[in-house]
Amino acid sequence: MRMYDIIRRKRDGEELTDEEIGYFVREYTEGRIPDYQAAAFCMAVFYKGMSDRETAVLTMRMAESGDMLDLSRYGELSVDKHSTGGVGDKTSLIVGPIAASLGCKVTKMSGRGLGHTGGTIDKLESIPGFRTTLSAQEFFDVIDKTGMAIIGQSDNLTPADKKLYALRDVTATVDSIPLIVSSIMSKKLAAGSHTITLDVKVGSGAFMKTPEQAGILARKMVAIGKACGRNMAAVLTDMD
Instruction: Please classify residue 146 by burial: count the beta carbons closer than 10 Å to its beta carbon, then call 0-12 exposed, 13-18 middle and 19+ buried.
Output: middle
- Of the candidates 183, 194, 199, 230, the residue annotated as catalytic is 183
**CATH for 3-63 (1.10.510.10, 1.10.3720.10, 1.20.970.10, 3.40.50.920):** 1.20.970.10
- Of the candidates 61, 162, 187, 201, the residue annotated as catalytic is 187
The torsion angle over the Cα atoms of residues 187, 193, 195 and 196, rounded to 10 degrees, is: -20
Given CATH 3.40.1030.10, say whether it is the number of domain 72-238: yes
Instruction: Reply yes or no on whether 226 is catalytic.
Output: no
- Of the candidates 81, 161, 182, 193, the residue annotated as catalytic is 161
pLDDT tens digits, one per residue of 31-76: 999 999 999 999 999 999 999 899 999 999 999 998 888 898 998 9
Taking a C-beta distance cutoff of 8 angstroms, is the pair 92, 150 a contact?
yes
Quick one: which of 205, 175, 189 has its CA closest to 66?
189
- Of the candidates 10, 61, 81, 168, the residue annotated as catalytic is 168
CA distances from 146 to 14, 149, 177 (A): 49, 8, 35
Domain ranges of the chain: 3-63, 72-238
Sign of CA dihedral 10, 12, 13, 16: negative
Euclidean distance between CA atoms 177 and 216, whole angstroms? 8
Instruction: Reply yes or no on whether 187 is catalytic.
Output: yes
Instruction: Give me Rg for the CA atoms of the chain.
Output: 17
Taking a C-beta distance cutoff of 8 angstroms, is the pair 66, 25 a contact?
no
Decide if pLDDT at 208 tops 90: no
pLDDT at 114: 63
**Backbone dihedral angles phi then psi of residue 109, each to the nearest 5 degrees:** -110, 120
User: At residue 170, what is the residue type?
Assistant: V
Euclidean distance between CA atoms 63 and 57, whole angstroms? 10
Decide if pLDDT at 234 tops 70: yes
- Of the candidates 82, 105, 220, 230, the residue annotated as catalytic is 82
Strand ranges, E, within the chain: 78-83, 105-109, 148-151, 195-202, 231-238
Region 119-139: mean pLDDT is 85
Determine if the pTM surpasses 0.85.
Answer: no
3-state class of 239 per DSSP? coil
Bridge partners, residue 150, by sequence = 108
Decide if pLDDT at 111 tops 80: no
Euclidean distance between CA atoms 171 and 207, whole angstroms? 15
Band (pLDDT 50/70/90 cuts) for residue 150 is: confident
Decide if pLDDT at 26 tops 90: yes
Q: Do the domains at 3-63 and 72-238 have one common CATH topology? A: no
Instruction: Reply yes or no on whether 219 is catalytic.
Output: no
